[in-house]
């Protein structure tokens, strides 16, 4: 099954297509407890553009309370999170996301320097 995910950053939309699971949801204790063990959970908060505040595989159910404590300790609770099938899928998604941002920045630069006509305005 092909899935299309649209990520909104400011006024920009970035699309990711693939067979890979990617879900955005508010990170609550109830939601964490409902997830399948082994999925890769990533906070939507980042220290910088490369390091999320929280990124771990969903723990076995008997270890979720400790995992929830780690989530709360970095203030990632009650905020959006991303859930992926695996860390590999998250890495692939991040690469695609970063490439889209770079391409958009190049288009903006070309437009600002008069190299693109107004009809091709990238924003």
Tens of pLDDT, residue by residue over 63-116, are 999 999 999 999 999 999 999 999 999 889 888 877 777 777 666 666 666 665
Confidence of residue 14 (pLDDT cuts 50, 70, 90): very low
Mean of pLDDT values over 49-76: 94
- Prediction pTM value: 0.67
| pLDDT at residue 15 tops 50 | no
Question: What CA–CA distance (Å, rounded) separates 44 from 59?
Answer: 19
Mean pLDDT, the chain, as a whole number? 78
Residue 15 belongs to what domain range?
3-120
- The pLDDT, as a whole number, for residue 13 is 42
Mean of pLDDT values over 7-28: 60
Summary count for the chain: helices (H), strands (E):
3, 6
| pLDDT at residue 42 tops 80 | yes
CB atoms within 10 A of CB 46: 12
- CA-to-CA separations, 104 to 10, 23, 95, 107, in angstroms, rounded: 13, 24, 14, 5
Percent of the chain exceeding pLDDT 90 equals 46
Which one is predicted more confidently, 5 or 78? 78
Name the CA radius of gyration of the chain, rounded.
17
Look at the chain and report how many structural domains it folds into. 1
- The answer to which of 11-20, 37-46, 65-74, 78-87 has the lowest mean pLDDT is 11-20
């Amino acid at each position: 099954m092909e899935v299309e995910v649209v990520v909104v950053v400011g006024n920009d939309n970035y699309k990711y297509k693939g067979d890979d699971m990617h879900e955005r949801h508010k990170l609550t204790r109830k939601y964490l407890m409902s997830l399948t063990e082994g999925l890769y959970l990533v906070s939507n908060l980042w220290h910088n553009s490369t390091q999320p505040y929280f990124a771990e595989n969903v723990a076995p159910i008997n270890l979720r309370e400790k995992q929830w404590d780690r989530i709360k300790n970095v203030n990632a609770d009650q905020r959006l999170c991303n859930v992926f099938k695996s860390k590999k899928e998250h890495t692939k998604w991040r690469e695609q996301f970063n490439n889209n941002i770079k391409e958009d920045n190049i288009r903006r630069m070309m437009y600002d320097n008069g190299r693109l006509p107004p009809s091709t305005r990238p924003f």
